[in-house]
Structure 1
């Protein structure tokens, strides 16, 4: 109960005094009531009810030797509870030995005052602990605010990244003969491979949670450079001539250059653009060195690009398109397996084989419908007629 019902109580620190002796309760209350809102309890059980059932407390003055729950046990329960562990406790007790004081502080008391009580000392120590608590509460509030602000800014940055990737990927996809679902399928395929390889000794150093997230975000950009390929080549229905294929191969460099230009504009190195650049520039490289644009081989090919190469190849084999019908899943798996150590990193192929059913599920979940293909055809006709 409160011993001072004045209207100003809500703005004053609230102190709970716990003691089984009525005279001590009256003495302590009289010393404190002019400055603080005072609540009292004459045993440990009532003290816990007051703490857990009423308004927040700023300080507890706690007797040690009481019938029922001792002050030590009350303190232990309060310190074990996340909602009450930050309330400072000052033990008030006739137990004056060094061992007793040490035990009280080890339990978690902020201070230890021995009886008989000396009023000026009590008032000074109460004031000190309340100031310490006020400072701690302020810092805790500031910390919570800063954490919320960091989380908000992080969400903003993430949203900017996502929008940037979507805009850039959509630019390339709009002029390609593949539907937007190709982007979704390869994106999820890269993630599946990364998760399968995260504990592998050759890949574990690279594939942490943050990098896997970046791979998932960046994968849609793998063909962004196709935005710079002429329509007559990009939209050609048949096999490209050697000269046309050489032009098509430049899409990796065009994409890399576009991302590097974005980095220069930002004036800083951005992790998701770095991963995106590896994917865009090197996903057409082959394990045996016969790919492009640089003819890299083996471990010289960035890991992100090696994952993208397998995911992209599987989708190229299985997807329905304007000019093709996809092959069955089983045949595509055999082709990927046949490229082990030739086109693809052997360990990435092993990861693909281990998760082949996940690739089948992704292909079914994001399968191109007749409507998707019809809309893509209409868009390409419009582009061709507008050229």
Structure 2
């Protein structure tokens, strides 16, 4: 009698044989320890296996009319729902080539006829124990995968929250609101996805790259934390000397990210995009931007995306020195900046999906309470840019 901890009557063994005497013999041998199901043909065996209560192990005769055991095994192996059921061949065929064929098809063992009862019971028990161990391991692996995924989500959420908090800290010292961060994030994402299959950008804008650019976007103005209040909060236009100090926020932001990067134990592509965006989002396509006066494609792709997003949002947002431009006015200003301020292909993409920008702006609008909180805070570097973009003198 087998160990009740090993068998305990819970396992089901399916015996498949076209000979009634063999089915009766195997049933008598196994039923003391297992629930036994019988099939007198390959087709009937597949019908039983297709039911809800699948067997834990199959004892399968090879030589059967219409559908032999090899074909039954092939079909079992082809079906993801049955491929893990262990199959032991019961056969009078004892040639090594026959065994090789069966094992290559996926059988776990061979028992030759006439069967030896003790050997048969031992092999059935051993393979059922192996199956239980595999099933337990699979459940544990599934649980661990779910736990890893859960922990990963928690870490990512913590990272995203930390990034937004850092970015919001910079924004509280300037005229922007926290929703500026969210809006520009989503502008950048939809623009990147629009360009994802463009010949110029397809190699760079993978799904992973777009996700990292989306995560990095909130840090574009993180360097403003390092700008003195007398400049950052000054009402009105900056002097040339003050504007030179303001322009250093791009370098301050990049250097802060570099410092954070050095504290990590391994390379993370997130830092690449964060540095690019913080340092180069004020560059212009024609080379008139800062901090380096980069031209055209020498400006990092992520920074070019951010430039369109940042300027659009600044244009449609109310400031103490100006009323908010309408969506239509902002679209025209960006259209006019095609090939001078902005990458031409990015402007074309922006024009094609400008209504999505409008929708994002509405979804993450600041609201009257946020605008009231801005009254005593004045932007400093953006007015200079917007005066260039709006020759009619938007600032009064």
Q: Normalising by the residue count of structure 1, what TM-score does the alignment of the two structures yield?
A: 0.83
Residues 54 and 351 of structure 1: is their aligned pair in 2 closer, same or farther, counting only changes over 3 Å? Answer: closer
Give the 3-state SS of the residue equivalent to 2:90 in structure 1: strand
Q: Which runs of 5+ in 2 are unaligned?
A: 379-396
Q: Is the 8 A contact 1:4 1:38 kept in 2?
A: no
In the TM superposition, residue 99 of structure 1 has moved relative to its aligned partner by 8.7
Q: Is the 8 A contact 2:7 2:125 kept in 1?
A: no
Q: Which has the higher helix share?
A: 1
C-alpha separation between the residues in 2 aligned to 1:168 and 1:152?
24
Residues 216 and 32 of structure 1: is their aligned pair in 2 closer, same or farther, counting only changes over 3 Å? Answer: same
C-alpha separation between the residues in 2 aligned to 1:236 and 1:242?
13
Residues 55 and 238 of structure 1: is their aligned pair in 2 closer, same or farther, counting only changes over 3 Å? Answer: same
Question: Residue 337 in 1 paired to residue 358 in 2?
Answer: no
In the TM superposition, residue 167 of structure 1 has moved relative to its aligned partner by 1.9
C-alpha separation between the residues in 1 aligned to 2:5 and 2:279?
71
How many residue pairs match? The answer is 376
Q: Is the 8 A contact 2:285 2:341 kept in 1?
A: yes
CA RMSD after TM alignment: 3.3
In the TM superposition, residue 290 of structure 1 has moved relative to its aligned partner by 1.1
Matched ranges for 1:120-131 at <5 A:
122=120, 126=124, 129-130=127-128
User: Is the deviation greater in 336-345 or in 280-289?
Assistant: 336-345
In the TM superposition, residue 249 of structure 1 has moved relative to its aligned partner by 0.8
Residues 18 and 118 of structure 1: is their aligned pair in 2 closer, same or farther, counting only changes over 3 Å? Answer: same
**Structure 1, residues 23-55: CA drift from partner, whole Å, max 9, x if none?**
323433455567x53523143576456545576
Residue 260 (structure 1) aligned to one of 254, 258, 261: 258
* Structure 1 match to 2:240: 242
In the TM superposition, residue 373 of structure 1 has moved relative to its aligned partner by 1.0
Matched ranges for 1:1-387 at <5 A:
9-10=7-8, 14-29=12-27, 31=29, 37-44=34-41, 47=45, 51=49, 57-64=55-62, 71=69, 74-94=72-92, 108-113=106-111, 115-117=113-115, 122=120, 126=124, 129-130=127-128, 133=131, 136-137=134-135, 140-141=138-139, 143-377=141-375
C-alpha separation between the residues in 2 aligned to 1:7 and 1:199?
59
* Structure 1 match to 2:388: none
In the TM superposition, residue 282 of structure 1 has moved relative to its aligned partner by 0.5
Q: Is the 8 A contact 1:31 1:119 kept in 2?
A: yes
User: Is the deviation greater in 139-148 or in 260-269?
Assistant: 139-148
**Structure 1, residues 130-174: CA drift from partner, whole Å, max 9, x if none?**
566456446544643553344244224312321221121111111
C-alpha separation between the residues in 1 aligned to 2:321 and 2:13?
79
Q: Is the 8 A contact 1:64 1:72 kept in 2?
A: yes
C-alpha separation between the residues in 1 aligned to 2:320 and 2:214?
26
Residues 9 and 50 of structure 1: is their aligned pair in 2 closer, same or farther, counting only changes over 3 Å? Answer: farther
Residues 307 and 317 of structure 1: is their aligned pair in 2 closer, same or farther, counting only changes over 3 Å? Answer: same
In the TM superposition, residue 19 of structure 1 has moved relative to its aligned partner by 2.9
